[in-house]
A = this chain, B = another copy of it.
Amino acid sequence: MKHKNMKTVKVGLIGIGNVGLSLLKLYSKNRRFIEENTGCKVEFKTVCDKDESKQKLLPITTKFVTDYNIVVKDPEIDIVVELIGGIHPAYEIIMESIKHGKHIVTANKAVLSENWDKIFLTANRYNKSVYFEASVAAGIPVIQSLHEGLAGNRILGISGILNGTTNYILTLMSQYRCSYEFAVKRIRNMGIAEADITYDVSGYDTACKLSILSSLAFSSWVKLANIYIEGIEDIELQDIHFAESFGYKIKLLGNACVEGNKYYFEVRKFLVPQNNVFANIHYEDNAILLNSDHCGKVILVGKGAGGFPAASAVMADIISIAKDIVGAVSGRTHYVEYKPTKLKIVSIKDTEGCFYLRFITVDRPGVLAKIANVLGRYKVSIASVYQKEPLVKLRRGVPIILLTHKTREKSLLQALEKIKKLDVVLKPPVYIKVYS
């Protein structure tokens, strides 16, 4: 209906990886339909990648350049889509583009979580919008749901499976009773994981996403340094096995908690009860729980990785900004208002939780008493004890598994430090928090 005289919004795309290519494919497929619903044309005017060979992969005819400055400084371009990932030169591209009057769409969790203040301060100052739906959980509209859908609420907590690679590894280990190393090799062979999965398995990727969600939810930059980060590299199959035999799955969660006016943030392995939604999120799926004061718990589930799901989020952001440009409002109401407020963030050691503990000890009477004795001294109260048959016969020692009542993490760590030194304990104790 509006096809005649439809305004054109010009996009410059920097970074032709999987998501960039998927975005161009998505747009060339759904173009007409998107234009009808957006009320304007979206033109990918210039596409940029430092690797010249990417040009032949493009599914659309467009100008291709290897120097991002051509995009950043082009006065005709309205929106710069940054899809190169990593901190540099992504940060420079975003900052320079804003200063050259561009709106930004990015999927880059690292650059946002590390530079939240500078990016939004600059965007606010230049009256430009920075949208970043694809930076967390790909196509699942969690940024929008949190920022707009729950805009009338105070957020009381955020938990989520935010990394597809680690969830895939944990799913394989649980399903095929295989080792961590075997699972990693398998997802590499399947082409699911990147060559370097350090950022995934170390918890860094999840922490970046938790930082973004928390900064948005609590109107304050929650830095990575504010987040306790633990990865899955040290996960052992026996703990998955034991946890499941007590009715839990082990998952890597990002978790933001508000208790009164205190906040804490953690990325770690959790024992999740089987009937909890997170226990049933398999493979590369992501799930996020947003707990709010008036709307209660809202849970979003979907594909947290992959070219098309991420491209779907990038396209949604482009459409949002395009609609604002057509209405001539973009930037006049800030998408994210930068506020230098300070949260009262407590150390994870000063928070409380229930824990799963595994000890490998000599097979001798009185061992449990010795361990229980130390725990008691540090006021760590035992909820249940399991002496399970080990998965494979250990060369030396037997496993003892305990679940604790609510305990201060600092006390637990002190107790474990002592227990480690007991002569009956053969290996460093393993402890995993229980999700509740």
Residues of A within 8 A of B (CB): 1, 22, 26-27, 29-30, 33-34, 36-39, 133, 138-141, 144-145, 148-154, 219, 275, 277, 280, 292-303, 306, 308-309, 311-313, 315-316, 318-320, 323-324, 326-329, 332-334, 337, 339
Known: A34-B151, A153-B312, A319-B152. A301 touches B302 (CB 8 A): no
Q: How far apart are the CA atoms of A115 and B248 in the complex, in Å? A: 49
Q: How far apart are the CA atoms of A167 and B153 in the complex, in Å? A: 26
Q: Which of A140, A144, A303, A312 has the most CB of B within 10 A?
A: A312
Chain B nearest CB from A329 CB (Å) reads 4
Chain B nearest CB from A133 CB (Å) reads 7
Known: A219-B37, A295-B308, A324-B329. A148 touches B144 (CB 8 A): yes
- Contact check, A277 vs B302: say whether CB atoms are below 8 A apart: no
Known: A39-B334, A312-B292, A333-B326. A148 touches B301 (CB 8 A): no
Q: How far apart are the CA atoms of A324 and B333 in the complex, in Å? A: 8
Q: How many copies does the complex hold?
A: 2
| Chain B residues near A151 (CB-CB < 8 A) | 34, 37-38, 315-316, 319-320
- Contact check, B148 vs A145: say whether CB atoms are below 8 A apart: no
- Contact check, A297 vs B303: say whether CB atoms are below 8 A apart: yes
- Contact check, A332 vs B339: say whether CB atoms are below 8 A apart: no
Known: A148-B320, A299-B302, A300-B299. A311 touches B339 (CB 8 A): no
| Chain B residues near A296 (CB-CB < 8 A) | 139, 302-303, 306, 308-309
| Chain B residues near A301 (CB-CB < 8 A) | 277, 298-301
| Chain B residues near A318 (CB-CB < 8 A) | 152
Chain B nearest CB from A155 CB (Å) reads 10
Q: Which of A34, A152, A316, A327 has the most CB of B within 10 A?
A: A152
Chain B nearest CB from A124 CB (Å) reads 9
Besides the known contacts A144-B148, A149-B316, A294-B311, 6 further A-B residue pairs in the complex with CB atoms under 8 A apart: A26-B294, A29-B293, A36-B339, A145-B149, A151-B319, A294-B308
A-B contact pairs, 20 of them (CB 8 A): A1-B337, A22-B294, A30-B153, A30-B154, A36-B339, A139-B149, A140-B295, A144-B144, A144-B149, A149-B316, A150-B312, A150-B316, A151-B315, A152-B312, A277-B301, A295-B312, A295-B313, A324-B333, A327-B332, A328-B332
- Contact check, B316 vs A152: say whether CB atoms are below 8 A apart: yes
- Contact check, B295 vs A309: say whether CB atoms are below 8 A apart: yes
| Chain B residues near A150 (CB-CB < 8 A) | 139, 141, 312, 316
The 6 closest A-B pairs by CB, nearest first: A141-B149, A152-B315, A139-B295, A329-B329, A327-B329, A295-B312
| Chain B residues near A144 (CB-CB < 8 A) | 141, 144-145, 148-149
- Contact check, B297 vs A148: say whether CB atoms are below 8 A apart: no
- Contact check, B37 vs A337: say whether CB atoms are below 8 A apart: yes
Q: Which of A1, A37, A133, A219 has the most CB of B within 10 A?
A: A37
> Nearest residue in B to A296 (C-beta to C-beta)?
B303
Q: How far apart are the CA atoms of A138 and B298 in the complex, in Å? A: 11
| Chain B residues near A275 (CB-CB < 8 A) | 280
